[in-house]
A and B are shown apart, each in its own frame.
Chain A
Amino acid sequence: MHEVSIAEEIKQIVINKLNENNGKMVKKVNLLIGEMTSIVPEALRFAFEIVAKDTPLENAVVNIKVSKTIAQCNECKKRFRIRELNLICPKCNSMNIEVIQGREMIIQTIEMET
């Protein structure tokens, strides 16, 4: 899929931050990836290994936290977990709901050697 272009983006952002903070090498990259994105964590790790070669990210461990899909009912404001696709409020049965979590792709933190 497009894990390679995502890995490239991560690499660029992390290298900029490394330079800003006078770091030498990245040891760990902590990501938050939403359940509802099309990203497959293993594929992303594999893609990252490839794009990180010969860069200060070469030996970095990529830690991926998966963000659960959560919706909120616009009627009764209840927040609930979405597992199977039943976008109906478990409290008031309204279908007027909005997915509020599960589509993120965020670099949270990195650990670097100075």
Chain B
Amino acid sequence: MAEINIFENIMKKNEEIAEQNKKIINNGFCINIMSSPGAGKTTLLEASLKNLKKKFNIAVIEGDVSTSNDAVRIKKCGVFAYQIKTENYGGGCHLDANMIKQALDKIKNKSKYDLFIIENVGNLICPADFNLGEDKKVVVLSTTEGEDKPLKYPLMFQIADVLVLNKIDLLPYVNFNLKNFEKNIKRINNKLKIIKLSAKTGKNIDEWIKQLEIWINEKK
């Protein structure tokens, strides 16, 4: 019987592929957008892409267990979209670096894109564990989900760079206390920037668009 030292990160392979993805994306800016199902990731993209595509070349990589519904919605905005279906990888609940690498391998003329947007599978837990090669992580939370979700799903809110609080148009109709929410966020991640908007009505969508512009131009 022998004891062998290994001391290896189980996520090592994912991290290595994520680094490869970074090199493939190169000068393009890449964001990984995560949220629960229905928080409004795709609607947020629909609301902002029409403006952004005038200034930047954008590629969207969509992640879902099944269907190409989201990629179809993005294409209708006149933006390139590639759909990953995790059912083709065993039906997983998150995207991993390998899925993104295979998607990137299939996307032609990658160097022309200024912005790569990865819309992750709707899930507030697992996507937080998997780096994809992105530059920034964005979490979308909607006012209908409750002000305590950051406390219930701390890892996601700890690793995010920006939080988009969506559906602010519904604030008069839901039990969502903005002050308590902001307090909860401060307890989890003091550095997390919050952008409050409504993807549906377009209220304050400019702040989100501006943030993307700043990021893209900073990387160039």
Q: In the complex, what distance in Å separates the CA atom of A23 from the CA atom of B186? A: 50
Q: In the complex, what distance in Å separates the CA atom of A106 from the CA atom of B11? A: 8
Q: How many residues of B contact A (CB 8 A)?
A: 31
Q: In the complex, what distance in Å separates the CA atom of A70 from the CA atom of B13? A: 25
Residues of B within 8 A of A88 (CB): 187
**Which of chain B's residues 116-157 have a Cβ closer than 8 Å to chain A?**
125-126, 128-129, 151, 154-155
How many A-B residue pairs have C-beta atoms within 8 angstroms? Tell me.
91
Shortest CB-to-CB span from A72 to chain B, Å, is 14
Q: Which residue of B8, B90, B186 is within 8 Å of A106 (Cβ)?
A: B8
Shortest CB-to-CB span from B3 to chain A, Å, is 5
Contact A110 B6 (CB under 8 A): yes
Q: In the complex, what distance in Å separates the CA atom of A31 from the CA atom of B128? A: 20
Q: Which residue of B6, B13, B158, B188 is within 8 Å of A109 (Cβ)?
A: B6
Q: Which residue of B1, B5, B188 is within 8 Å of A113 (Cβ)?
A: B1
Q: How many residues of A contact B (CB 8 A)?
A: 37
Q: In the complex, what distance in Å separates the CA atom of A5 from the CA atom of B10? A: 10
Q: A27 contacts the other chain (Cβ, under 8 Å)? A: yes
Are A111 and B126 CB-contacts (below 8 A) given A1-B93, A9-B13, A95-B186?
no
Q: In the complex, what distance in Å separates the CA atom of A97 from the CA atom of B188? A: 10
Pick from A2, A10, A27, A104 the residue with the most CB of B within 10 Å: A2
Could you list 9 A-B pairs, sorted by A, with CB under 8 Å? A1-B125, A17-B6, A36-B154, A38-B129, A86-B187, A105-B9, A107-B7, A107-B10, A114-B2
Contacts A2-B126, A5-B96, A110-B4 known; list 16 others, CB within 8 Å: A1-B93, A4-B90, A6-B10, A13-B6, A13-B12, A36-B158, A38-B126, A85-B187, A86-B187, A109-B3, A109-B4, A110-B3, A111-B2, A111-B3, A112-B4, A114-B2
Instruction: List residues of B whose CB falls within 8 A of some A CB.
Output: 1-13, 90, 92-94, 96, 125-126, 128-129, 151, 154-155, 158, 186-190
What are the 4 A-B residue pairs with the smallest beta carbon separation, nearest first?
A105-B10, A95-B190, A107-B6, A38-B125
